[in-house]
Structure 1
Amino acid sequence: LLWETMILPIIRGNKLDGYVLGTKLCPPEFLPRTTPGSTVKIPNPEYEEWLSNDQLLLGWLYSTMSSDIASQLMQKATSKELWDGAKELSGAQTRSRIVYYKAELQKTKKGGMKMEEYLTTMKAIADNLAMAGNPIPLPDLIVQILSGLDAEYTPIVTLLTDKISVSWIELQTNLLTYESRLEQLHTYQTDGIQANHASAHFATSSTTNRPFTSTNGRGQNRYYNGRGARGRSRGRGGRSSVSSSSSFCSRRIVSASCHLFYKSTTLFHNLGMCPQIMKCRYNWSYIKF
């Protein structure tokens, strides 16, 4: 079909379309001439002109075909025979292409593709269907594109589906903008989580060298953890005050960590995503923004 679409305008421009479409029939090769007592045949000049034009057109049509196609259409005597044979051959191939491209349109999903690549792929499939003589209406193409998006695109899918009509440019603009927004949100989340881990690591490291103190009325014992140790003792018994390494974090660390994460996720307005805040949410006196 694509070959026919490209070739036919050129043939018409040269006023030769009647040869391939069958409207300019082949005239008789000879004309009768009657003489007294006999009838003879003489060459028909119109036939010679027709044959010359037809053979030139036949050779030109062969030159426009690939060797694989031309080899299947050998032994065609006229341009119309070649034209009809090419249409019949392309018809069988076209039907198989239509089935193939329809299946591709159904199974193609965005997945890991960028939005621009996904839209280009779907548009190319639709264009191939159109060239095969089976164009898909734009609303149907848009529905197929939206159905191939992931769940995170549900808000924009709902918005576009509710519209009465959507142009191709409008579809591209909305989907590309939404993808860009999602990428920004993912970046904010990633930065917040990294800051969270860094703060938690610092809090854990700072507790490894915390002192253990024991005091009573008569004396005091002090020990330090770490690579080395030093101590001082007087008396015995009494009460102890322990700053354990299992403590979650100091007030200052919690405040800094949660504040940093809150800033990086302002767009979400979801403080519950911060692990430190989840642990401290019932003791807000520890968190000072």
Structure 2
Amino acid sequence: MSFVKDDAIAPLPFLTDDKGKLTDFVNPAYDTWIQQEQMVLSWINSSLSSVVLATVARLTSAHSTWVALEKCFTSPNHNRILQLRSELFRTTRGDSSIADYSDKVNVIADNLALFGSAIPDSDLLGVIMNNVGPLYESTVAFAHSLKYR
């Protein structure tokens, strides 16, 4: 957490001599610090969906990435919620596979949940079932019959 909160103070990149003057020798403690900081950044990035990762991909430190994520997700942005809900209900399967389509819908639903506006599973199922197309009519009928039991 010290890397995320920016409490971890980086050692000098180069060693100093007896007089406190920087030398050309790399400080091993600095190398260790950089490795740890980049590992934390990697952990954060690997936990993000591709959509969210795209918003922080250019950032190079754990702290700056964390701050950007906080700004994005800590205060509900009503316009963004409305945009995501609209996108969810406008997303159609088109030529994509069922797996790709459901992944797309789930990413939008996950982002809505991050903004504190989760879509109930039954509504999400309705969106998916209404957009999978005629090839899956029997699957849709079966899912609807299960829903109303």
Superposition TM-score, scaled by structure 2 size: 0.50
What is aligned with 2:112? 129
CA distance in 1, matches of 2:126, 2:67: 37
Match status 1:113 vs 2:96: yes
Match status 1:139 vs 2:122: yes
What is aligned with 1:197? none
Measured after TM superposition, the shift of residue 117 of structure 1 is 0.5
Measured after TM superposition, the shift of residue 150 of structure 1 is 1.1
Q: Which is strand-richer, 1 or 2?
A: 1
Match status 1:156 vs 2:131: no
1:171-186 paired onto structure 2 within 5 Å? none
What is aligned with 2:83? 100
Measured after TM superposition, the shift of residue 164 of structure 1 is 3.1
When residues 129 and 111 of structure 1 are mapped into structure 2, their CA distance, relative to the original with a 3 A threshold, is same
CA distance in 2, matches of 1:160, 1:104: 23
Equivalent residue pairs, number = 86
Measured after TM superposition, the shift of residue 149 of structure 1 is 1.4
Segments of structure 1 that go 5 or more residues without pairing to the other structure are 1-6, 12-61, 70-85, 166-289
**Identity of aligned pairs, percent?**
27
CA distance in 2, matches of 1:105, 1:65: 27
Q: What amino acid is aligned across from residue 107 of structure 1 in structure 2? A: R
Segments of structure 2 that go 5 or more residues without pairing to the other structure are 6-62
What is aligned with 2:67? 65
Contact 2:92 2:131 in 1 (8 A): yes
Structure number with larger C-alpha Rg: 1
**Aligned alpha-carbon RMSD (Å):** 2.9
1:174-253 paired onto structure 2 within 5 Å? none
SS at match of 2:79: helix
What is aligned with 2:35? none
Q: What amino acid is aligned across from residue 65 of structure 1 in structure 2? A: V
Q: What amino acid is aligned across from residue 111 of structure 1 in structure 2? A: G
Contact 2:93 2:131 in 1 (8 A): yes
Partner deviation per Cα, 1:97-143 (whole Å, 9 max, x = no partner): 11011001101111100111011111111100000110011111001
What is aligned with 1:212? none
